[in-house]
Amino acid sequence: MRNYELEVPISKENEALEKKDEKCITCGYCKEVCKNDVTVARMFEVSPDREPICINCGQCAMVCPTEAIHERWDYLRVKEILENKNEKKIIFSIAPAVRVALGEEFGEKGSNVEGKIATAFKKMGADYAFDITFGADLTIMEEAQELVSRIEKNGVLPQFTSCCPAWVKYCEIFYPELLPNLSTAKSPISMQSTLIKTFFAKKIGVEPENIVNIVVAPCTAKKSEIKRKELSKTKQDTDFLLTTRELAKLLKEKEIDLSKLEETSFDSPLGTGSGAGVIFGSTGGVCEAALRTAYYMITGKNLEKEALNFHVVRGMDAIKEAEVEIAGKKIRVAVCNGMKNAKELIDHLKKKEVEYDFIEVMNCIGGCIAGGGQPKMTLLETEDTKKIRMKQIYKEDERMTLRLCHENKEIISIYEEFLGKPNSEIAEELLHTKYFDKSDMLGGMNHDK
């Protein structure tokens, strides 16, 4: 009999996480984070005869001191593919937050190692190395246009972000009444993977089934997201999802020392991203990026350099709010940093105590920089490490000359060549999705706790 008071049960069918009961020391850390920070364990009753509910965020794995809970490892399968390479094209891509955390596994804490990652991919045998920052830019083009359309056409508001799969699943299970508020835009990884298996496959004259598409992300929930059929235009657009930790394992097992590699650039046409795409990796980054491009879409003008920095939505505060005036219209935004704070904001929203046009939600406290698949930290290191990663994210944005999604030449090119315009018919078909009421998982139990 499991001790449900001190443990988070992990289903054998869980697509993102697995648990080795023999390693569990019933310390209670996993239950504490799931109940108090993620709030899932407080929203339903666990019983031996029911499948446990999980949003796959991996925060339980982050705090587990014995590795009893960890991500489902896919890196060994990827390693085998690399070692037995056939005629298939192998593509690696990294999500924005990976670049400021992977270095920690190789003695380079506080460094942005994106150039070395691009080199490492090729050294392992990748045919192409891409940057999901391109996908982040594309997401903003679609999501910002969706927001502008909802505002101008009196659509459903507030619009919630949809790039965090843990949050999307949380909404589907516990707040299905809010599904019309979720942006229909796919996540950056899903958008980019769809383009790899459609647009890019055609461009290089390769059938989608002859591409092995591997994405490295800071997030365990993405392992579940890539298997959602509604997100793929082929059998599965993302073939493998490795966490940052898994990439570190893969490199070490292949005896590649990241710290000793030279820097190279990502490949085109899906390898260039703006500073706005880079800041997706930090809490507040999606909101800030969306505001930069929404301003342009409404006014036809870019914000001045200093005005590009929406400092009010940055940082680790639980709930951040801002009011931005665009062409005489006040846009009210909020950023929820962690699911417990999202739940608090949603409760206020349902009681009509607050009113917003746009709300960013990230499950992990700090955003993707603190994802469940990032290098582990001790409890004493956690706050400082998150701040260091976040600082590097914004430092990269400040350093870049390209800081607006809509000025990314690769983004402009793909719309001209393939997609037409944001929210076009083909963009809706390839880059947008739908969500489903999954509250039946609760068995009719009240979730408002």
Taking the chain (449 residues) in runs of 10, the rounded mean pLDDT of each run is 78 95 94 94 76 94 95 97 92 97 95 96 97 96 96 96 97 97 98 98 97 98 97 96 98 96 96 91 90 90 68 84 87 93 95 95 95 92 93 90 90 96 97 95 60
Closest CA to 40 of 52, 22, 27: 52
Q: How far apart are CA 278 and CA 250, in angstroms?
A: 24
259 is catalytic: no
Catalytic residue among 30, 163, 364, 405: 163
Catalytic residue among 45, 67, 83, 230: 230
163 is catalytic: yes
Catalytic residue among 93, 111, 183, 232: 183
Q: In what order do the strands lie in the sheet with 358-362?
A: 159-160, 358-362, 329-337, 319-326
CATH topology of domain 138-184+273-406: Fe-only Hydrogenase (Larger Subunit); Chain L, domain 3 (3.40.950)
Give CA separation, 75 vs 8, 362, 389, 406, 421, in Å.
25, 26, 24, 35, 37
Burial class (CB in 10 A: 0-12, 13-18, 19+), 289: buried
What is the location of CATH 3.30.70.20 in the chain?
17-71
| Helix, strand, coil % in the chain, rounded to nearest 5 | 45, 10, 40
Catalytic residue among 104, 142, 146, 172: 146
232 is catalytic: no
What is the reported pLDDT for 305?
60
State the CATH class of domain 17-71: alpha beta
Q: How far apart are CA 158 and CA 360, in angstroms?
A: 10
What is the reported pLDDT for 449?
46
What is the reported pLDDT for 214?
98
What is the reported pLDDT for 322?
87
368 is catalytic: yes
Catalytic residue among 31, 116, 169, 222: 222
SS3 state of residue 215: strand
114 is catalytic: no
State the pTM of this model: 0.94
396 is catalytic: no
**437 is written with which tokens?**
């009421």
30 is catalytic: no
- Residue 198 is given by DSSP the state I
Catalytic residue among 169, 368, 396, 405: 368
CA terminus-to-terminus distance, the chain? 26
What is the location of CATH 3.40.950.10 in the chain?
138-184+273-406
Catalytic residue among 114, 143, 288, 360: 143
Domain 75-134+188-260 has CATH 3.40.50.1780: yes
What is the reported pLDDT for 324?
85
54 is catalytic: no
What is the location of CATH 3.40.50.1780 in the chain?
75-134+188-260
